Chains A and B, each alone.
Chain A
Amino acid sequence: MTDNRQELMSKLRRALADRDSSEKFWASMTKARSNRTNLLQKERTLDIHAIKESNKALKASAVADRTLVEEFAENVRRNGGKVFLAKTGQDAIRYVEEVSKRVGAKLIVKAKSLTSDEIDFTKEVEKFGVRAVETDLGELIIQVAGETPVHLVMPAAHKSVQEIATLVSKAVGRDIPPEDQAILKAVRAYLRQLFLTADIGVSGANIGIAESGSIIIETNEGNGRLVTSLPKVHMVIIGMEKIVPKWEDATFLVKGHSASATGQNMTVYVSVTTQHVPLAGSTEGREYHVIILDNGRSRMRDDPWFSEALNCIRCGACMNVCPTYGVAGGHTFGYIYPGPIGIPWTAEVHGLDKATFAHLCVSCGLCKEICPVDINIPMMIAKVKEEEVEENGQLVVNDFFMSSERLAKLASATAPVSNWFIRSGVSRSLMQSLVGVDKRRTLPTFSRKRLRPRVAPLGAGTGSAGKVVFFPDVYADYNDPELGVKAVKVLLALGYRVEVPDLSWSGMPYISYGDLSKATAVAKKNLQSLKGFLDEGYSVVSTEPTAVYMIREVYPTLAPGELADKARDSSFPFFGFIQPKLGELSLRPVFASDAPVGFHIPCHERSVSGGKPAVEFLSAAGYNVQVVENGTCCGMAGTFGMKHGDLGYNLSMEVGDHLFRLFKQSGLKLVATESSVCSMQISDGVGLKVVHPLHAVDAGRGSLST
């Protein structure tokens, strides 16, 4: 194993062992998520989907526009500011050194800026004898601790009040008790003195406005205002990707940022700076410098895989929702840039060897779902994984699960012998040591008779309501073909013509484990198989959320073109598809309906339907449905939770534990979920009966019963 992988594994081991820290960190992320959710529920005019769409289009065109940086720079100069285009971080630091020496600077006060963290600003300027002090409370804590930010927005989210008091005591040089107000008072007094005596103030910029050469800085604490006003010299370090053409472009960036970062309508101070204005009428010695940082960004812009990373507005929402980041924390799941978006950024600006933490991603897709710029973070992570694997080799267990379809074919053909094998402790121990499948995981059994022969006698149906291709993926074909049969029967009962062509699996593990050439091959193969049907107006329907997710969210990136777009627009989750015709069905509960039924939303269903249609289906059958959720993944993440050890079962169960507790507290006896793998996780973790909603309901048309 490479040194970087070994380091990742030992960090992960420590993170999993430190339950206390992990619990606290998870609670912080939960709170951050609910702050956002609460705002979106409260502010009905805040249309996050409109914000996403608008921001995505804006950032994509702004990042691609090579004239913007020059226009912005030109306007800064016109307003009397000095502009420096820094190709690298070192170039930027050298410029700061020149200015510092010229003005005789000894002290720099800094506002929070991830871009300056990227180039290790405070440590680098110390090398030429200038002290730089972070003035955002979280950044100050981290600086004194000698750490990197654990989170983009909440850099010290992992520190307890006791630890913070100790660090602040160290900074101010006297003992500060571990009480909020005492810490606040000490920090205010300590930093106030530094603000008043600093020679240079350094800030980042959330947005640059090309048409005026202005920058927008968002801070809640107000330290940014003091950094940019009191010192004689104000230096801005802005990533070249932050520049947008016009004033009005800023609206949704500002709103998307505050809503996603902290659940605020607006950050407390949104400051627009165009030059260093006079202080008490004096302009003496007052200088304004804007360092526009490239540091790999031009290369990213020209790379079709990574250009979207430049759309990031640093809100940190992807961190708040990421299940494994929530357990492992940003020092394990991160380098300088932490979390999901930190993976492509690290690989691109700090190097692939620093981005090994990409393997902590379980491909749940929630980072894209929550992103206010709709960045396709999961695909970039898959690409980083692929590059890392090309460099350092693939894990045996990942190869094993990427062969799931072949294995399923074999296991189905040899059932029931294969099932005996799967249930036997001896063979499971062997599987664990040879291929790395965790023996503690209950694996599904296989059916000898697959779906197609089972549905053949049902006929294809009249097609009075429309035409459907049923896509079973692996589970409803090899493991539980009766689920596929039930789905097909419902579709027939509703008057659809139903075809079950010989499709390949959806290929999710190729994405999870970074084999994009195989993922592309399976995408192209399935799209070709679907082409004739799509041309004839068929819809594609699946009972497996991941299958629909792959067609909608992944295939268009892997095999871009009209066909993929058509498949995306024609693919539906089963319950979403039948929802408009729910009233035509007679639905009866299979299980006792007097007690409530729990419902779990699979991650891959969130972007597709949010699970609502399945809940309505169960409710229509007479169940009292109780959605149990914490806003993130159950931890199973496809085959991830089947892998042996820390980077698999252990991490999976640690993530899952937070949801298991909610299920246990709920006192429910039965759980329904659409995903075959979430079902295993909840069943293993809580010990409850977990069924697909179709197995919980007898569905038929009118008097027709299944």
Chain B
Amino acid sequence: MQRPSGAAARPSGDVLQKFLSSLKDLHVVASVVRDEAETGDALRGILAKAGARSVVVAGIPKRYLGAVKASLAGTDATFVEDLRGRPTDEAVKVLASADAGVTWAANGVALEGALLEIAYDDSARLASALPIVHVALLESSSILPNLAEALPVVGKAVGDAPPDRRPVVTFISGPSKTGDIEMRLLYGVHGPHTVHALVLDWS
């Protein structure tokens, strides 16, 4: 999976702090993890607390696969990349019955508070759209200051891909929410009720 990133350099602490505080305001549970062990523990903790028995995983880069795989022990985990070639109905069934989705965010957006998901296959998108719990992993160095700087990244990801392989890109700014019942803020009407962000700040 291609992984465009708009920021190669490590962002300043301010950008990370703003990202974390924006996400907090948006009802996203965010934490920073510094190494493989912390990452595995954090993810394991989230999945255990959510009582997730079946998990779908999408787009995790090689460097972090070990940590993610370690945390999935004891769950029924499917990597969406492995669904390729299976009948679509079957693939959808796996995605729709998952208790949690663990996905990769190419970037974070600090000011507005968003996770940028770039998906070249809808199975990756559905991993963050269908389950009631969503955990997004992203690198601390990928956090962009604001939406204005993130849109060119989207433009590049779309423009650089071959015309028949353009990705679908989603800014995710919190759990699925509605205000349609007497304007009360309610979570989880279609998609995730809970969203976690694990900011990978490995040295």
Q: List CB contacts (< 8 Å) of B139-193 with chain A.
A: 147-148, 151-152, 154-155, 158-159, 163-164, 166-184, 186, 188-192
Partner of B169, one of A223, A266, A272, A284: A272
- Tell me the minimal C-beta distance from A181 to chain B in angstroms: 8
Please measure, in the bound complex, the distance between the C-alpha atom of A222 and the C-alpha atom of B155, giving whole angstroms.
22
A192 and B96 form a contact (CB under 8 A): yes
Partner of A222, one of B91, B123, B152, B191: B191
Q: A154 near B: Cβ within 8 Å?
A: yes
- Tell me the minimal C-beta distance from B177 to chain A in angstroms: 5
A184 and B186 form a contact (CB under 8 A): yes
A278 and B111 form a contact (CB under 8 A): no
B152 and A221 form a contact (CB under 8 A): no
User: Would you give the 0/1 interface string for B95-122, flagging 1 where the beta carbon is closer than 8 Å to chain A?
Assistant: 0100000000000000111100001111
3 closest pairs, A vs B, by CB? Answer: A222-B191, A281-B84, A280-B91
- Tell me the minimal C-beta distance from A347 to chain B in angstroms: 29
In the complex, chain A residues whose CB is within 8 Å of the CB of B180: 136-138, 141, 154-156, 164
Q: Which residue of B lies closest to A255 (CB)?
A: B147
Please measure, in the bound complex, the distance between the C-alpha atom of A136 and the C-alpha atom of B123, giving whole angstroms.
22
Q: List CB contacts (< 8 Å) of A8-25 with chain B.
A: 24
A270 and B189 form a contact (CB under 8 A): no
Instruction: Given contacts A180-B181, A279-B123, list 18 more A-B pairs with CB under 8 A.
Output: A138-B180, A164-B181, A184-B186, A220-B178, A223-B190, A225-B170, A225-B190, A226-B190, A230-B122, A248-B151, A267-B173, A271-B171, A274-B166, A277-B121, A279-B88, A279-B91, A279-B122, A281-B84
B151 and A277 form a contact (CB under 8 A): no
Interface-facing stretch out of B38-46, B69-77, B125-133:
B125-133
Partner of A161, one of B112, B175, B182: B182
Sampled A-B contacts (27; CB under 8 Å): A79-B163, A137-B181, A138-B180, A181-B186, A191-B190, A211-B155, A212-B155, A221-B189, A222-B129, A222-B176, A223-B189, A226-B129, A226-B130, A228-B168, A229-B122, A247-B152, A251-B148, A265-B22, A266-B147, A268-B172, A268-B174, A269-B171, A269-B173, A270-B171, A271-B169, A274-B158, A278-B121
B164 and A80 form a contact (CB under 8 A): yes
Q: B136 near A: Cβ within 8 Å?
A: no
Partner of A270, one of B111, B129, B173: B173
Partner of B151, one of A223, A250, A278: A250
Q: Which residue of A lies closest to B177 (CB)?
A: A220
A225 and B147 form a contact (CB under 8 A): no
Please measure, in the bound complex, the distance between the C-alpha atom of A181 and the C-alpha atom of B185, giving whole angstroms.
11
Partner of A254, one of B147, B177, B182, B186: B147
- Tell me the minimal C-beta distance from A208 to chain B in angstroms: 13
Q: A122 near B: Cβ within 8 Å?
A: no
Q: Check A272/B163 contact, CB under 8 A, given A137-B181, A187-B189, A281-B121.
A: no
Please measure, in the bound complex, the distance between the C-alpha atom of A196 and the C-alpha atom of B129, giving whole angstroms.
13
Q: Check A270/B170 contact, CB under 8 A, given A135-B190, A251-B147.
A: yes
Q: Which residue of B lies closest to A192 (CB)?
A: B96
Q: List CB contacts (< 8 Å) of A472-489 with chain B.
A: none
Chain B interface residues toward A at CB < 8 A:
22, 80, 83-86, 88, 91-92, 96, 111-114, 119-123, 125-126, 129-130, 147-148, 151-152, 154-155, 158-159, 163-164, 166-184, 186, 188-192
In the complex, chain B residues whose CB is within 8 Å of the CB of A32: 183
B191 and A280 form a contact (CB under 8 A): no
B172 and A269 form a contact (CB under 8 A): yes
- Tell me the minimal C-beta distance from A50 to chain B in angstroms: 12
- Tell me the minimal C-beta distance from B163 to chain A in angstroms: 5
Q: A214 near B: Cβ within 8 Å?
A: yes
Q: A45 near B: Cβ within 8 Å?
A: yes
B190 and A80 form a contact (CB under 8 A): no
A277 and B147 form a contact (CB under 8 A): no
B168 and A272 form a contact (CB under 8 A): yes
A277 and B167 form a contact (CB under 8 A): yes
- Tell me the minimal C-beta distance from A452 to chain B in angstroms: 53
Please measure, in the bound complex, the distance between the C-alpha atom of A265 and the C-alpha atom of B163, giving whole angstroms.
32
In the complex, chain B residues whose CB is within 8 Å of the CB of A440: none
B176 and A268 form a contact (CB under 8 A): yes
A277 and B120 form a contact (CB under 8 A): yes
Q: Check A266/B85 contact, CB under 8 A, given A212-B158, A248-B151.
A: no
Q: A282 near B: Cβ within 8 Å?
A: yes
- Tell me the minimal C-beta distance from A283 to chain B in angstroms: 9
A266 and B171 form a contact (CB under 8 A): yes
A272 and B170 form a contact (CB under 8 A): yes
In the complex, chain A residues whose CB is within 8 Å of the CB of B167: 274, 277
Q: A157 near B: Cβ within 8 Å?
A: yes
Question: Considering residues B86, B88, B123, which has the most beta carbons from chain A within 10 angstroms of its beta carbon?
Answer: B88
User: Would you give the 0/1 interface string for A133-170, flagging 1 where the beta carbon is closer than 8 Å to chain B?
Assistant: 00111100100000000000011110111001000000
Please measure, in the bound complex, the distance between the C-alpha atom of A226 and the C-alpha atom of B125, giving whole angstroms.
9
- Tell me the minimal C-beta distance from B98 to chain A in angstroms: 13
Q: A546 near B: Cβ within 8 Å?
A: no
Q: Check A280/B173 contact, CB under 8 A, given A135-B190, A212-B155, A212-B159.
A: no
Q: Check A248/B148 contact, CB under 8 A, given A268-B175, A280-B86.
A: yes
B113 and A265 form a contact (CB under 8 A): yes
B173 and A230 form a contact (CB under 8 A): no
Q: Which residue of B lies closest to A282 (CB)?
A: B88
Q: A78 near B: Cβ within 8 Å?
A: yes
Please measure, in the bound complex, the distance between the C-alpha atom of A304 and the C-alpha atom of B197, giving whole angstroms.
49
Partner of B114, one of A138, A266, A278: A266
- Tell me the minimal C-beta distance from A81 to chain B in angstroms: 10
Q: Check A183/B176 contact, CB under 8 A, given A221-B189, A279-B91.
A: no
Please measure, in the bound complex, the distance between the C-alpha atom of A221 and the C-alpha atom of B191, giving whole angstroms.
7
Q: A31 near B: Cβ within 8 Å?
A: yes
In the complex, chain B residues whose CB is within 8 Å of the CB of A607: none
Q: Which residue of B lies closest to A284 (CB)?
A: B88
Q: A28 near B: Cβ within 8 Å?
A: yes
In the complex, chain B residues whose CB is within 8 Å of the CB of A214: 158, 166
Q: A273 near B: Cβ within 8 Å?
A: yes
A184 and B84 form a contact (CB under 8 A): no
Q: List CB contacts (< 8 Å) of A210-252 with chain B.
A: 211-212, 214, 220-223, 225-226, 228-230, 246-248, 250-251
In the complex, chain B residues whose CB is within 8 Å of the CB of A260: none
